[in-house]
Amino acid sequence: MVSSSATTTVDFISHNVEQTIQVGTLLGEVLQGGDVLCLSGDLGAGKTALTRGIAAGWGAREPVTSPTFTLVHEHTRAPDGQLLYHIDCYRIESPADAWSIGLEDMLYGEHVAVIEWAENVRDLLPSDCLWITLSFLGDSERRLSFRATGERARALLHAFRERTVGRQAGPRAMKER
């Protein structure tokens, strides 16, 4: 097993939507301003369900719905006014499209950004991100593969791992690489 400080990848198996939301909640609890989460996976893989949990754990006041048609939903946290941007890049076809919605300000600012279909804007993303790929394993089971690409993302992954191991996920549901 790799030591926690060196861990750059963690896999988690979610057995249902509720567990995916719970995993998101645990991740949301450790987010800091400037964190960028990049979600990838097929339609219906659970990106919005995971984001629902992330926003809840982070402390969003507004309910989370898919921003497919609006592209961006902005959520606020009551105690400090911090923002969480929930961005859907499914319909983004070019860098010009991305910049036209203000993506640069959302990704390189002091707030949290959660991006669905992040692979569509890969070249525009900061180098320090936490990538989460959701894959179908069965009707309700999903593999969530977390990959840290920078120092802050590694620290975030470590904090998430510490919160998750020993809770609902249990040590057998999570695998480090």
Mean pLDDT (whole number) for 2-21: 80
Question: What's the mean per-residue pLDDT of the chain?
Answer: 88
- For residue 85, which of 117, 50, 109 has the smallest C-alpha distance? 109
Q: Is the pLDDT of residue 2 over 90?
A: no
Q: What is the pLDDT of residues 121-159, one digit of tens each?
A: 999 999 999 999 999 998 999 999 999 999 999 999 999
Q: Look up the CATH number of the domain holding residue 80.
A: 3.40.50.300
By percentage, how much of the chain surpasses pLDDT 70? Answer: 89
Q: What is the pLDDT of residues 40-85, one digit of tens each?
A: 999 999 999 999 999 999 999 888 988 777 899 999 998 899 999 9
Q: Is the pLDDT of residue 162 over 80?
A: yes
- Tell me how many domains the chain contains: 1
Residue 116 belongs to domain spanning: 4-176
The region of weakest confidence among 3-7, 23-27, 43-47 is 3-7
Q: Is the pLDDT of residue 23 over 70?
A: yes
pLDDT for 167 equals: 56
